[in-house]
Amino acid sequence: MKKILFRFLGWIVILTLAFLWIVLNPKPAFAQLNAINYNNINLENRDFSHADLAGVTFVAAEMRGTNFQGTNLSNAILTKGILLKANLEGANLTGALVDRVTFDGANLKNAIFTEATLTRSRFFDADVTGADFSDALIDRYQVSLLCRRADGVNPVTGMSTRDSLGCR
């Protein structure tokens, strides 16, 4: 009888501790509820126009011809992405990590890249009219290529594309 009572009390203690651990276990402050992750996926010709994709992750995603017009991509992570001929007109990429992304032939009119990290990314034949690159980190070679066709003023920030790139 004593043995059964100790087993019963032991189970109660274990279940109580497990319950308290589940109830009192705090979630980390950096955890994102409903975080969306588009890694290693084909998003070719998809329409994300005017969506709120702040903080979303796009790693090694195929995004040829994808429509991000007017989309909030602030603090998003876009690495190793293919955005050939994609439409990012008026998109907000403030603070985004855009590493090793190909924007060849993309529409970047009036896009906002303030404080974005655009390292090892390509912009060949991209339309950057009115784009704002203020305080963005961009490879010098790409800046020199962008300055050749930089024109316009961003309608949201009021910043000239040439000034935001530091063109001479």
Q: What is the pLDDT of residues 69-79, one digit of tens each?
A: 999 999 999 99
- CA quadruple 131, 135, 137, 139: dihedral sign: positive
Q: Average pLDDT, stretch 141-147?
A: 95
**How would DSSP label each residue in the chain?**
-HHHHHHHHHHHHHHHHHHHHHHH-PPPTT--TT--B--S-B-TT-B-TT-B-TT-EEES-B-TT-B-TT-B-TT-EEES-B-TT-B-TT-B-TT-EEES-B-TT-B-TT-B-TT-EETT-B-TT-B-TT-B-TT-EE-HHHHHHHHHH---B-TTT--BHHHHHT--
Of 161, 134, 132, 135, which is closest to residue 148 (Cα–Cα)? 161
Q: 124 versus 24: which is more confidently predicted?
A: 124
Q: Residue 96: what residue type?
A: A
pLDDT over threshold 90, residue 2:
no
Report pLDDT for 30.
46
Average pLDDT over residues 94-105: 96
Rounded distance between C-alpha atoms, residue 50 and residue 71, angstroms? 4
To the nearest whole percent, how much of the chain has pLDDT over 70?
A: 89
